[in-house]
Amino acid sequence: MFNKFIELVKSLYPGMDPIPLHAPVFMGKEKEYLNECIDSTYVSYVGKYVTKFEEMTAEYVGAKYAIAMVNGTAALQIALQIAGVQSYDEVITQPLTFVATANAIAHTAAMPVFIDVDLDTMGMSPDKLADWLKSNTKFSKNLDCINKITNKRISAIVPMHTFGHPCRIDEIIDIGSKYNIPVIEDSAESLGSFYKGKHTGTFGLAGILSYNGNKTITTGGGGMIITNDEDFAKKAKHITTTGKIPHKWDYVHDVIAYNYRLTNINAAIGVAQMELFDKYLINKRETSNIYRNFFKDSEINYFNEPLNSSSNYWLNAIILKGKEEKDAFLTYTHDNNIMTRPIWRLMSKLGMYNLCQTSNLDNANWLEERVVNIPSSYRIKS
């Protein structure tokens, strides 16, 4: 079985050795736009490609505003700050995520609380969230949601759409509003993924995207906040542009702020990538069909897009029988120069976060033992 898998992957990515998990492709006008940036000398964060990239993204995801940033981690930190997260608050997220989710929370000087995921989405479980909030929180006089054990304010919920598969985000939003907690979606992995016909990242107060080199499309490094809230968008732009009050020559700043905007150079690559995004998505969906078909009659389960969803299938995932099989699969594929990767170690097990409060994490633990990502790059010779 494992050797048949090697043959399949080699046929999907002929001529590649090793075969990476997810390599970027530059098949559009990237070089042309980069040259234009250099010729124009607009290489920094002011420039037409930044604006164009933001407009294209807002239009694609169906959000009123998109604000480009240096990376997804910074975008998430800023989104949390604007949502009102303050030092010593608590922010609810899932333990099964890339470390950047927890780090962005920590960068605001808040503490994460980890709530279990659903087995069929790998994203935050609304049922476990509701149960945990019900038994662990109370309202303060001004109706903030307070953790009964730590007495800290819970000021945001950050669900994540794992590997591009949407979680049950509408239910999470409903629960958040019941407890007066805003939802910021970590949609870093899910550009091109829709839930009930609506783009991920546009359900909550704001969402964030990542354009890291391993994502479906890349700007080298980059991120985006997407939101329908005008005030939120204005604050995001202001605080990531050193808090400078717009003026022709005066340098006056009215807030402690950041230099977090995306450069025109990075945005130029992003515009070229967005122009071919639909093509990339179709190709990725075809790859997912090939894998699904391959694993259909085997003991290994292929992870399908959840109900009511259209996933970008950023990273294809399979579920092995247990830890032993998982380790054997990883060893065999790596020995054959095929890059596969186990799902992340749970955040609640990392030294920085192992004292954080958690719900029961049965599902996250189960998935952590079994899930592996398999090569998912755009297939050039398809």
Ligand X SMILES: Cc1ncc(COP(=O)(O)O)c(C=O)c1O
Which stretches of the chain bind ligand X, using CB under 6 A?
Answer: 71-73, 76, 97-98, 100-101, 160, 186, 188-189, 210, 212, 223
CB of 213 to ligand X, least distance (A): 9
Task: Give whichever of 116 and 189 is closer to ligand X, judged by the CB atom.
Answer: 189
Task: Give whichever of 76 and 318 is closer to ligand X, judged by the CB atom.
Answer: 76
CB of 178 to ligand X, least distance (A): 25
Task: Give whichever of 245 and 352 is closer to ligand X, judged by the CB atom.
Answer: 352
3-state SS, the chain, equals: CHHHHHHHHHHHCCCCCCECCCCCCCCCCHHHHHHHHHHHCCCCCCCHHHHHHHHHHHHHHCCCEEEEECCHHHHHHHHHHHCCCCCCCEEEECCCCCHHHHHHHHHCCCEEEECCECCCCCCECHHHHHHHHHHHEEECCCCCEEECCCCCEEEEEECECHHHCCCCHHHHHHHHHHCCCCEEEECCCCCCCEECCEECCCCCCEEEEECECCCCCCCECCEEEEECCHHHHHHHHHHCECCECCCCCCCCECCCCCECECCHHHHHHHHHHHHCHHHHHHHHHHHHHHHHHHHCCCCCEECCCCCCEECCCCCEEEECCCHHHHHHHHHHHHHCCECCEECCCCHHHCCCCCCCCECCCHHHHHHHHHEEEECCCCCCCC
Task: Give whichever of 37 and 70 is closer to ligand X, judged by the CB atom.
Answer: 70
CB of 217 to ligand X, least distance (A): 12
Task: Give whichever of 145 and 343 is closer to ligand X, judged by the CB atom.
Answer: 343
CB of 314 to ligand X, least distance (A): 9
Closest residue to ligand X, based on beta-carbon distance: 72
CB of 72 to ligand X, least distance (A): 3
CB of 186 to ligand X, least distance (A): 5
Contacts of 51 by beta carbon, 8 Å cutoff, 6+ apart:
none
- Residue 319's φ and ψ, nearest 5 degrees, are -115, 115
CB of 4 to ligand X, least distance (A): 30
CB of 55 to ligand X, least distance (A): 20
